[in-house]
Amino acid sequence: MMLSDFSQSPLRAVLFADGVFGQLEGKTAQGVLRHSSILETVAVIDRSLARGSTGTVVVGTDIPIVASLDEAMGFRPEALVVALTESDYGECVDGQFQHAPRVPGDIPEFWWEQIHAAVRGGLHVISCLHLQLLGTDLVDLLAEGQRIVDIRRPYDELPKYSGRTHRSRARLLHVAGSDCVVGKRTTALQLQHAARSRGVDTGYVGTGQTCLLVGSSEGAIIDRTPVFQAAGLVEHLVQKADPQYDLLVIKGQASVLHPAFGGLATAILQGSRPDVVVFVHDPQRKVRYHWEHLPVADPEDEIALVEQLGGAPVVAVATRGQENVRALRYLGLPVADMLVDDGAAQLIDAVESVLLRAGTPLHRTAAQGSDREF
């Protein structure tokens, strides 16, 4: 993993999420704050929420939100994490957030100021930008031992898909969904935690930038891979992690019926060769995230297609809010709110029940309640 060779872990980190921390575009910063085992968030930079607390966005947290890195330095950070991409950029217009995505490499002046300040201040910089910072003059400013990590760099090894190798140990739980930014990563990480709490040695195969920042057993930025090689890379990551775990959780991207990203979602699904699938859906979302002219597909249709493409049953549905739970019961599958205490446990019950009926029950080889570091 790209962050595994830092000698100190977790790194004390400032998350840069200017203008977006409280928006859907702030999902990377929110995910790091909620789930990361390798980054300890000490402050968040977002001028629109400065002098507030992260608890207003991520319930159960209480980290200061500041307006600049200069303010954050008082919390003794070791790294600045640029927890957004150029396409996440937005502006406040008449008190409302307006998404205004920029093309890769078009970096707002304030972002540059904060990144340069971090390098001059001796911090490591961990960047989710499409622009590769290691290709800029920032490299000339680095002190000995100081690092820049481009999370979205292309994967070095692109093995071909074989379809011939069988897993020797792990069962695989794939988390699919009906759209982008619908809760797949949160669901996957909550399921991993619930399985570990039962003593199931559970790993996580990351497929996106936030997955790598929270800590994953194996992972890569799959959308940086040519689509015809994506399934082979996913297969490779799963095979590397297989001997170490009794259960692997992998998060899909977008949705298999998404016109822009369906090829990527399908490649991850077929490359992972799952045993079971949990499907994530928000019944209140009628149009696609940032494609408001495109409707979200009917969940019954998409679930049937996921089962056909992945060759594994969809065993449960994850959502947020009890109103949504009630609205989705017509699907005839277990449905749970992933942000309530027993939500993930309900879905792990469904996973275990299906695997048991298939004659492939989960083994419990870890100590009860184990939360092994990656």
Nearest alpha-carbon partner for 205 in 190, 221, 216, 195: 216
Torsion of CA 360, 366, 372, 374, to 10 degrees: -40
How many other C-beta atoms are found inside a 10 Å radius of the C-beta of residue 339? 18
Could you tell me which residues come within 8 angstroms of residue 356 by beta carbon, excluding any fewer than 6 positions away?
Answer: none
Pairing verdict, β 96-99 and 90-93: antiparallel
pLDDT band at 366 (very low <50, low <70, confident <90, very high): low
Nearest alpha-carbon partner for 112 in 134, 142, 140, 133: 133
Domain 11-150 identical in fold to domain 171-357: yes
276 strand-pairing partners: 173
Nearest alpha-carbon partner for 234 in 248, 244, 215, 213: 248
Average of per-residue pLDDT across 45-50: 95
Q: Is 61 helix (H, G, I), strand (E, B) or coil?
A: coil
- Neighbour-count burial of 300, counting CB atoms closer than 10 A to its CB (0-12 exposed, 13-18 middle, 19+ buried): exposed
DSSP secondary structure string, 159-192?
Answer: PPP-S-PPPSS-EEEEEEESSSSSSHHHHHHHHH
pLDDT value of residue 4: 59
pLDDT value of residue 1: 45
> What is the rounded distance in angstroms from the CA atom of residue 215 to the CA atom of residue 294?
33
Residues 24, 30, 35: CA angle, nearest 5 degrees: 140
Over the stretch 294-311, which tens digit does the pLDDT of each residue have? Answer: 999 999 999 999 999 999
Record the pTM.
0.85
pLDDT value of residue 211: 80
Of residues 209 and 281, the one with the higher pLDDT is 281
Least confident span in 36-50, 134-148, 206-220: 206-220
How many other C-beta atoms are found inside a 10 Å radius of the C-beta of residue 16? 28
> What is the rounded distance in angstroms from the CA atom of residue 83 to the CA atom of residue 224?
17
> What is the rounded distance in angstroms from the CA atom of residue 143 to the CA atom of residue 125?
12
Over the stretch 141-199, which tens digit does the pLDDT of each residue have? Answer: 999 999 999 998 877 778 889 987 788 999 999 999 999 999 999 999 999 999 999 99
The two three-digit tokens of residue 97, written as one number: 């957030």
What value does the mean pLDDT of the chain take? Answer: 92
Domain 171-357: which CATH class? alpha beta
pLDDT value of residue 233: 94
Average of per-residue pLDDT across 274-290: 96
User: For the chain, where are the alpha helices, taking DSSP H only?
Assistant: 27-35, 69-72, 109-120, 184-197, 209-214, 227-241, 262-272, 299-310, 322-328, 343-357
- Position 48: which residue type? S
Residues 323, 316, 256: CA angle, nearest 5 degrees: 95
- Identify the CATH assignment for 11-150 out of 3.40.80.10, 3.40.50.720, 3.20.20.70, 1.10.3720.10: 3.40.50.720
Give the relative orientation of helices 184-197 and 27-35 as an angle to the nearest 10 degrees: 10
Q: Is 65 helix (H, G, I), strand (E, B) or coil?
A: strand
343 in Cβ contact with 333 (< 8 Å): no
Over the stretch 112-136, which tens digit does the pLDDT of each residue have? Answer: 999 999 999 999 999 999 999 999 9
The two three-digit tokens of residue 181, written as one number: 């930014």
pLDDT value of residue 153: 85
pLDDT band at 5 (very low <50, low <70, confident <90, very high): low
- Alpha carbons within 13 angstroms on the beta-carbon side of residue 9 total 14
pLDDT above 90: percentage of residues in the chain: 75
Tell me the domain boundaries of the chain.
Answer: 11-150, 171-357
> What is the rounded distance in angstroms from the CA atom of residue 275 to the CA atom of residue 180?
23
